Amino acid sequence: MDADCLIKLTKAGLKELICQHDKITIPRIVKQEVVDTGKRKGYPDADLIEKNITNGLIALAKEPASNHLKGDQALIATFKQGRYSAVATDDAKLIRILRAAGIPFILPALLIYALYRKGLIDQETGLNWLKRLLPFISEDEYSMTKLLLEGKL
């Protein structure tokens, strides 16, 4: 999961709920971006995410032994190790890179839909969670996921 996705799920109050149903792993550079930098800047989400890492709700990736300057590069290198099913992001630039590299990705709202499809949450819960995420995602992402949850697509 990239930093942006992690922050959006946290702000929507969904991070813990998603993490209880799906294994979420972040590269160490994403932890540095979200937790270390966030704490220095006084962002309250940083402490919450750090607690999730400490308590094992979010795992830190075992990354290849190389220095990555950016989170996107670390995400790609970590994914290529073959232990992950997709990269969770809604960053347009990163999505273009992932598509070009043939790496599957999932948008934050589609994490909710995936839990619904697996039978881990019901439709009402999915729609409620989606509404909580709405202020942080695009209208397109919201609308498509809503249609999927309602069985209209």
Query: Could you give the CA distance from residue 133 to residue 130 in angstroms, rounded to a whole number?
Result: 5
Predicted confidence (pLDDT) per residue in 69-111, tens digit: 577 888 888 888 878 899 999 999 999 999 999 999 999 999 9
Contacts with 30 (C-beta within 8 Å, 6 or more apart), sequence order: 1, 2, 3, 6, 71, 74, 75
The token pair at 63 is: 């990354």
pTM of the predicted model as reported, rounded to 2 decimal places: 0.85
Rounded CA-CA distance 153/137 in Å is: 20
Which tokens in the block code for residue 119?
Answer: 């039978």
Among residues 57, 110, 107, 105, the alpha carbon closest in space to that of 84 is found at 105
